[in-house]
Amino acid sequence: MDNLLKFGIPKGSLEEATVELFRKAGWRITTASRSYFPSVDDEEMKCSLIRPQEMGRYVERGTIDVGIAGRDWVRESDSDVVEICEMVYSKVSRGTVRWVLVVKDDSRVRSPEDLRGGTVSTELVGFTQRYFAERNIPVTVEFSWGATEAKVVEGLCDAIVE
């Protein structure tokens, strides 16, 4: 069937909560541990498991028609997409995610301006670069492959966005 609605389900921490949300709405989505293409009990829909960090790009390109991802990751990818609605849910709460700028307790940094010439480590590189550029604060923003919170404690960077 060529008129399938191609729907991106977030792979990772929101995966189970999203499947449960769909169940409550009347759809049955079944995932398998090794498959990126869950089955759904709607012949007019095809689901794909996609990392939320990439969802905006796939919607923008038309690879999928619609997807669920956090606003943070859509802004990070700077994708030209339309936000249909805000869905506040997570695997553990109904709270929203907040990204924060963090420094060591004994840091001289008290405001973003104090990071001028410094290094910031984060997974949210594009958004963080745009944040500092909009404020004319020159910083180096480095991608963090994990354990981001430890990097500022160990002095590997001046601040983190986590």
Q: In what order do the strands lie in the sheet with 159-161?
A: 101-102, 159-161, 119-122, 140-143
For the chain, residues classed under CATH 3.40.190.10 are: 5-77, 101-161
Tell me which fold the domain 101-161 belongs to: D-Maltodextrin-Binding Protein; domain 2 (3.40.190)
pLDDT for res 9: 95
Q: What are phi and psi of 126, to 5 degrees?
A: -60, -50
Q: How far is CA 82 from the centre of its chain?
A: 16
- On average, the pLDDT of the chain sits at 91
Stretch among 7-11, 20-24, 72-76 having the lowest mean pLDDT = 72-76
Closest by CA to 15, choosing from 5, 29, 27, is 29
CA torsion angle 13 161 75 46 (round to 10)? -10
Comparing C-alpha atoms, which of 66, 79, 158 is closest to residue 120? Answer: 158
Q: Give the tens place of pLDDT for each residue, 84-141.
A: 988 877 656 666 677 899 999 999 999 999 999 999 999 999 999 999 999 999 999 9
| Positive/negative CA dihedral, 47, 51, 55, 61 | negative
Say what the pLDDT of residue 39 is: 93
Place of tokens 């849910």: 89
Per CATH, the homologous superfamily of domain 5-77 is: Periplasmic binding protein-like II (3.40.190.10)
8-12, 64-68, 72-76, 114-118: which has the minimum mean pLDDT? 72-76
- Cβ-proximal residues to 29 (8 Å cutoff; 6+ apart), any chain: 9, 19, 22, 23, 38, 39, 40, 41, 47
Res. 54 pLDDT band, cuts 50 70 90: very high
Q: What amino acid is encoded at 144 in this protein? A: S
Q: Are 160 and 102 in contact (CB under 8 A)?
A: yes
